[in-house]
Amino acid sequence: ETTVNVTPAALGFTAVAKNKNDVVTVPTGYSVSILTRLGDPIAQSTAAYKNDGTDTDFANRIGDHGDALYYYGLNADGARDDNSNIRGLLAQNHENLNVQYLHANGPTNVSAGPRPEAEAIKEIEAHGVSVVEVVQGSAGWAYVQNSTFNRRITPNTPVEIRGPARGNALLVTAYSTDATAGRGTINNCANGHTPWATLLTCEENWAGYFRRPRAADDARRTAKELTALIRYGVTSTNGNYAWASVTPANASSTIFRKWDAQATGSSASADYRNEPNQYGWVVEIDPYDKTKAPRKRTALGRMNHEGCWPGPFVAGRKPAFYMGDDAQNEYLYKFVSATPWVAADANAADRLAIGDKYLDTGTLYVARFNADGSGEWLPLVFGQGNVTSTNATYAFADQADVVTHARIAADVQGATRMDRPEWTAVNPVNGEMYLTLTNNSSRTAANADPANPRSYQDPPSTSRGNRNGHILRLRETGDTTEATSFTWDIYVFAAGSDLDATNINLSGLTADNDHSSPDGLWFGRPSNASGQVNPLLWIQTDDGAFTDVTNNQMLAAFPGRVGDGGTRTVTNTAADGTTSTVVTRIGAAPGTNLRRFLVGPIECEITGVDSTPDGRTLFVGIQHPGEGGTPAAPTSKWPDSQGGSTSLPATTRPRSGVVVIRKNDGGIVGL
Ligand code: FEO
Ligand code: CA
Ligand code: CA
Ligand code: CA
């Protein structure tokens, strides 16, 4: 048993009060500065952002809706340096859009089309991933507009298909008739990193971008294909933003047509039925080399990938990656590489070749949680268990079919349906994995289970379900990434401190740490100079249920470990008054070892967090402030509002952004 020491013994800041102010609020003794914002130019020749809806050239700007981020160090010579605290590359996902602020008067015909080509180009290019050089100078942190490292990856960027689905008929498109390449990445949400210094970016809500009028070409689809489309939700008549409705000036352009998931003729060049199969993957990017195409790692399965955080890398052991599928009643997955870890690979020159070695071959598992606090990793391997060519629900053809339809394989293997699995994080000291389960409005008193045990109201809403979410954690059997079983408990149940302590506020949250809808989740880097043995856990919220009380927030914690609490019986009451009970596993009450560190501006979510290796500079993402507003009446003016100005024009448009948080005495953030 690993002994867990905490040095220092307590969080070193006073809790920030809940508030609805239009600024980022941090504890006394800390400072906030703005690092990057939507639209900031990242090429020398790109114009400054006017932020009035007339800007163009988004393939050379910071994208919208910044989500997960990661800092990759650089030395003075511009080479990779994992210990650099003053210069690095910030890689950030750009998940989605506040589309109303991208155009002067909002978008034209955004629901059904036809869309103007110029508007659609901006919207497409504002998605994807950015890699931007950042430096700490005498005036603090800033990004470098003309750095040769700066890079945008958009939904149009050429990518390689790797792993079991490479070359398979399911990935054949007009763009890649041998199924080895694809175009771009979209709805990139959470992330992961590797010790060989690459980024794992995750494609989450990709299905909604596709147009597929129901039954448009059903006659050309097999029953299996139709089952798969419905299971993944590729069902829209128009698609988000209706990009397929554009008539391009260049008639040979297919960057809009590709969002129309159907065949319009008998020739291969008119067949776009497989386009959705290009998305829903984990994508590996070398942040240090912009000449290298991103690689889609299909061995890790296709789903609404939220994140892909690795477990500990131990020489001679097969590494593992933990992945949530963020939709109601979806699953937690783990990929275990076929290749035992060789520590020297961390410093290989060809980083994506190391990715090929560890990420293209291995075993994909899905989690089942048992009532007694145990659990199993169920393999999603062609020919094993119910994942066979004779399965009555879905006859699998091969491993390419299994990974492309991982959700269906998980269904037939009997995985546990979870309350929207978002980020995973791994305690770097003991290897325990934490998983945010953000909320689930379809969780009922009748179907609550030990790992998803609550269904209730949170006034003023009259809806029921798991309204506020929880954070589950698991410990692998034998403390190894290779384990096929585990124990679990629930670290914390999110809730307002005013809610029923017997059945809802089970973790005893107070005014200093009550929160709702945990989403982003990250353990502080173990390399910081604090000597701490139990690293800080950071929790970020994306909440709609608690916004009557506070804007979204970030908390810091020293968590304990799996099994430090006990069992609890929860009584849920259905709308008709019927009650039912569930026995769950709950960790020790967090008490003052969980504390609110930050509150964001109006209508934002807090998502994306990393630090320099020394823990003294924290980077935090502020996503979609003012998302409910209009160009004529924005509901937030952040980040312009951060300084507290009361004289900003009423039509000042909000922008997603990244903030730098430093302790005024230069100490480690949070301690
Ligand atoms: Fe993009 Fe599930 O958050
Ligand atoms: Ca409430
Ligand atoms: Ca999220
Ligand atoms: Ca969320």
pLDDT in tens, 251-292: 999 999 999 999 988 888 899 999 999 999 999 999 999 999
Give the pLDDT of residue 429.
87
Rg over alpha carbons for the chain, rounded to the nearest Å, is: 24
| pLDDT of 5 over the 50 cut | no
pLDDT one-digit tens code per residue, 278-332: 999 999 999 999 999 999 999 999 999 999 999 999 999 999 999 999 999 999 9
CA 422 to ligand 1: nearest atom? 2
* 393 within some domain: yes
* 214 within some domain: no
**pLDDT-based confidence at residue 213 (cuts at 50, 70, 90):** confident
**Is the CB of residue 605 below 6 angstroms from any atom belonging to ligand 1?**
no
ipTM confidence score? 0.95
Locate tokens 């993402």: which residue? 621
Give the pLDDT of residue 215.
79
| pLDDT of 554 over the 60 cut | yes
Residue type, 644: G
**Is the CB of residue 325 below 6 angstroms from any atom belonging to ligand 1?**
no
Contacts of 367 (CB under 8 A, 6+ apart): 331, 332, 333, 334, 375, 376, 377, 378, 415, 416, 474, 486
* 257 within some domain: no
CA distance 442 to 419: 9
CA of 519 to the centre of ligand 4 (A): 5
For residue 665, the 8-state DSSP code is T
Full domain range(s) for residue 450: 30-206+279-663
Predicted TM-score of the model (pTM): 0.97
Give the pLDDT of residue 1.
33
* 315 within some domain: yes
* 273 within some domain: no
Q: Which residues surround ligand 4, an ion (CB under 5 A)?
A: 519, 542
| pLDDT of 6 over the 70 cut | no
CA 542 to ligand 1: nearest atom? 3
pLDDT one-digit tens code per residue, 588-603: 999 999 999 999 999 9
Give the pLDDT of residue 264.
86
Lowest mean pLDDT segment, chosen from 60-69, 192-201, 211-220, 510-519: 211-220
Measured on CA atoms in the order 299, 301, 302, 304, is the torsion positive or negative? negative
**Is the CB of residue 422 below 6 angstroms from any atom belonging to ligand 1?**
yes
Give the pLDDT of residue 336.
99
CA 96 to ligand 1: nearest atom? 1
Please report, for the domain that includes residue 501, its CATH number: 2.120.10.30
Give the pLDDT of residue 393.
92
Nearest protein CA to atom 1 of ligand 1, as residue: 189
* 577 within some domain: yes
**Is the CB of residue 95 below 6 angstroms from any atom belonging to ligand 1?**
yes
* 249 within some domain: no
Give the pLDDT of residue 528.
59
pLDDT above 90 covers what percent of the chain? 93
CA of 498 to the centre of ligand 2 (A): 8
**Is the CB of residue 275 below 6 angstroms from any atom belonging to ligand 1?**
no
**pLDDT-based confidence at residue 25 (cuts at 50, 70, 90):** very high
CA separation, residue 2 to residues 313, 424, 591 (Å) = 17, 21, 23
Complete DSSP assignment for 264-283 = -SSSGGGB-TTGGGGSSSEE
Ligand positioned closest to the Cα atom of 328 = 1
Q: What angle do CA 521, 402, 342 make, to 5 degrees?
A: 60
CA 204 to ligand 1: nearest atom? 1
- Compute the mean pLDDT over every residue in the chain, rounded to the nearest whole number: 96
Helices 223-232 and 406-413: crossing angle in degrees, nearest 10, is 90
For residue 243, the 8-state DSSP code is G
* 270 within some domain: no
CA separation, residue 171 to residues 18, 161, 567 (Å) = 48, 9, 47
Structural domain count, the chain? 1
